[in-house]
Amino acid sequence: MAQNDWRKSVVYQIYPKSFNDTTGNGEGDLQGIIEKMDYLQYLGVDYIWLTPVYESPMNDNGYDISDYYKINEAFGTIEDLETLVFEAHKRELKVMLDIVINHTSTEHEWFKEAYKNKNSPYRDYYFFRRSANECPPTNWESKFGGNAWKYDASTDEYYLHLFDVTQADLNWDNPEVRHALYDVINYWIDFGVDGFRFDVINLISKGEFKDSEKIGKEFYTDGPRVHEYLHEMNRHTFGDKDMMTVGEMSSTTIGDCIKYSNEHRQELSSVFNFHHLKVDYINGEKWTNAKLDFHKLKQILMEWQLGIYNGKGWNAIFWCNHDQPRVVSRFGDDSTEESRQQSAKMLATVLHMLQGTPYIYQGEEIGMTDPHFTDINQYRDVESLNAYHNMKNAGYDEQEILKILSQKSRDNARTPVQWTSGTQAGFTSGESWIDIPNNFDKINVEAAMQDEQSILQTYRRLIQLRHEYDIITYGSVEPLYMNHEALFVYKRHLDDETWLIIANFSNEPVDLPADIILTGEVVIQNGHIENGAIGAYSAIVVAQ
């Protein structure tokens, strides 16, 4: 168990547009990240992951890349990124870049060539298809709404876009495409980064283009040649380097994730899956209002804990990212200051004691909340705006739509990091590109750094614990009391050590089951335990 094993790492995710603005244009930039490097060191994380900073028309905030080798001017220059990597390394922080290679922007040179000339070699970089009738080639749906094929009258063909119409899917079956993408990865390895997050990487191998009963997912999710392609990518790029990689896997399975992340298969180091974040969907449908299904949450997390470990594979563990609402508003309780503080600490503890690599999304460490927007004009995200129009067309009432958006929109995560109680939360000297929740006077980094009891201090302690105690990284997991209404309980075991983790997800004290023995050393705790009951949103970890 090497001291520098990447498995002991904690990753901090940065969404540059909302992190810190140094130019006053209302959008974050690379210099803004450099400015906060000491803060990241203070937090104690090992890696920072930057969501895409490449040239992009920004229809999907950088997940629509128009040039893999250039930096988006809005974020800065290539020299800024060099400085960022240098400043990070100086502080023993590693840098991961986001690689989006399932699709490119339609502004990418490859697509522009492909689009204007049917005989161009670039045509086969994408999926252009004819249809036998008036309908698109298949009935597959875009993840952002509508059919996944866009018609081009000039050639009477359609191209495939699983996401926005400006994000055209790349044809990985074409070896030229694959090698062009490996060149991109190698360029950034030579640049000096330490790892990669691969966007929707389990969608790269499309199966047959046939009509679907399930919006098309079954044809391209964990598709027929995906493992072969990832192994090939590994061999041509990072495989023999000291790098950490994580693949974002959409609607995947445990079996496939073991294959993606099993070290002997030489694909990726680890995987993200989202099943535990669909526990407030109705029948798998995101654009609904639903409460957390607590049993389902425990069941899914534990199924993955038990399924993927013991040397089989490696998971990323996370509550938040730039696509998900803020966890304290979602599975915790932001209705009072006390419940926000306690539930954010409890959620952090319950997650960071699991096996896997924890990811902290900017602002999560200070318990930032959803902004609770009330007007459609406050939203910026292409997916949310599409969903709004689709729900309107389907006859939903405006208030109902706004309620759903305020629970589910990706913009919930995208409001700026609240640095201070000053103007614009210390994020910009101009005006932020998206509204800032009005709780920044209390919830901000400056205040959290001064308060010894803050959520931030809980996160710092959890990170230190992971670095100090091997049981958190390597220990096996034993789920307990799975049917309990309010408690999330499990044990970790390593050699002769046992740690017990108990978390109360409810807003009132809960009696501990009579056979729970709390003797041992308290490793971390928030809230209190009195007369055999654990307080509302409290959590405790005991080394026994």
Residue ranges that bind ligand TEU, judged by CB under 6 A = 60, 63, 100, 143, 163, 199-200, 248, 250, 286, 322-323, 383
Rounded to whole angstroms, how far apart are CA atoms 356 and 311?
12
Catalytic one of 199, 256, 267, 370: 199
Rounded to whole angstroms, how far apart are CA atoms 520 and 172?
54
Angular region, 30: left φ>0, alpha ψ -120 to 50, beta rest: alpha
Taking the least distance from each CB to ligand TEU, the nearer of 387 and 500 is 387
Q: Is 411 a catalytic residue?
A: no
Rounded to the nearest 5°, which phi and psi values hold at 339? Answer: -70, -30
Alpha helix (H) residue ranges in 469-543: 470-474
- Please write down the long-range contacts of 421-428, taking CB distance under 8 Å and 24 or more positions apart: 421/446, 421/447, 427/18, 427/20, 427/21, 427/28, 428/21, 428/24, 428/25, 428/26, 428/27, 428/28
Taking the least distance from each CB to ligand TEU, the nearer of 155 and 251 is 251
Q: Is 199 a catalytic residue?
A: yes
Rounded to whole angstroms, how far apart are CA atoms 71 and 268?
25
Taking the least distance from each CB to ligand TEU, the nearer of 163 and 379 is 163
Q: How far is the CB of 274 from ligand TEU (least distance, A)?
A: 6
Taking the least distance from each CB to ligand TEU, the nearer of 63 and 158 is 63
Q: How far is the CB of 214 from ligand TEU (least distance, A)?
A: 15
Residue nearest to ligand TEU (CB): 63
Q: How far is the CB of 143 from ligand TEU (least distance, A)?
A: 5
Catalytic one of 248, 256, 267, 364: 248
Tokens of 135: 């309908």
Q: How far is the CB of 316 from ligand TEU (least distance, A)?
A: 13
Taking the least distance from each CB to ligand TEU, the nearer of 63 and 440 is 63
Q: How far is the CB of 542 from ligand TEU (least distance, A)?
A: 35
CB 144 within 8 A of CB 382: yes
Q: How far is the CB of 387 from ligand TEU (least distance, A)?
A: 9
Concatenating the DSSP letter of every residue in 179-241 gives HHHHHHHHHHHHHT--EEEETTGGGSS-------SSTTHHHHTT-TTHHHHHHHHHHHTTTTS
Radius of gyration for the chain, computed over Cα atoms and rounded to the nearest angstrom:
23
Q: How far is the CB of 65 from ligand TEU (least distance, A)?
A: 9
Beta strands in 384-520 (DSSP E): 476-480, 487-494, 497-504, 510-511
Rounded to whole angstroms, how far apart are CA atoms 392 and 213?
24
Q: b or e along 370-408 (b: 16 or more beta carbons within 10 Å of the residue's beta carbon)?
A: bbebeeeebbbbbbbbbbbeebeeeebeeeebbebbbbb
Taking the least distance from each CB to ligand TEU, the nearer of 406 and 538 is 406
What is the β-pairing status of strands 54-55 and 270-272?
Answer: unpaired
Taking the least distance from each CB to ligand TEU, the nearer of 286 and 380 is 286
Catalytic residue IDs: 199, 248
